[in-house]
Copies of this chain bind each other. A is one copy, B any other.
Amino acid sequence: MVVSSGRCFIQEGAPAHDFYVLTGGRAKLFTLMPDGRRQIVGFAELGDFLGLTSSETYAFTAEALGDVTLCRFPHSAIDRLVERFPRLRGRLQKEASSELVKMQSRLMVLGRKTARERLASFLVEQASPCCGHHALHDEQEPITLPLPMSRTDIADYLGLTIETVSRTFGLFRKEGLISVKGASSVTLLAPGVLSDIANGIKRD
């Protein structure tokens, strides 16, 4: 199925009938508090499984960032699917535990890092799929990233306000660490330094 930009295809709290595999585009996953405060719990991309839950209802809302394509499966079909594609079993387990590891580093970001460190962590995380195998830490080449999410989304992902996100982008720009094109594209000019900032390391 195809979901157009801004549409929600999973609703927090709704009965969890189906699960999805994302086959194109990206989506933001978030939860809300009764008074409207929002926390983005992740950005889904190609190959991610969404809507697997042990409870009766979805734990988050999923909204398309740009147009998204996905495959929908009823929860009840999961056993049949695994039977037909035995390798899926391993995928599911691997996906779950790698998501758990990511969550743990997100907890560190939200619980213990400063605004600078949070934004640096975000940029490094966004860059890591692009630069693949070799560690970004000692990457010297500039890396250009598309940022399909708004400043508000970044803020709600990092537990900050849009103003703080904007100001911190400004700082990084002034320090020559990044350069920004039109607010939806960044190039990391010094990935190694950003990675150090993300981990709270000061090199002098």
Tell me the A residues contacting B by CB distance below 8 Å: 31, 33-35, 37-39, 41, 52-55, 59-60, 92-94, 96-101, 103-108, 110-113, 156, 158-159, 199-201
Contact = CB atoms under 8 A, between A and B. Distances in A.
A80 to B, nearest CB: 15
Given A34-B201, A93-B96, 12 more contacts: A31-B108, A33-B108, A33-B199, A34-B199, A37-B112, A54-B101, A55-B98, A55-B101, A100-B103, A103-B103, A107-B110, A111-B158
Contacts of A59: 100-101, 104-105
A113 to B, nearest CB: 8
Contacts of A39: 107-108, 111-112
B96 A96 contact: yes
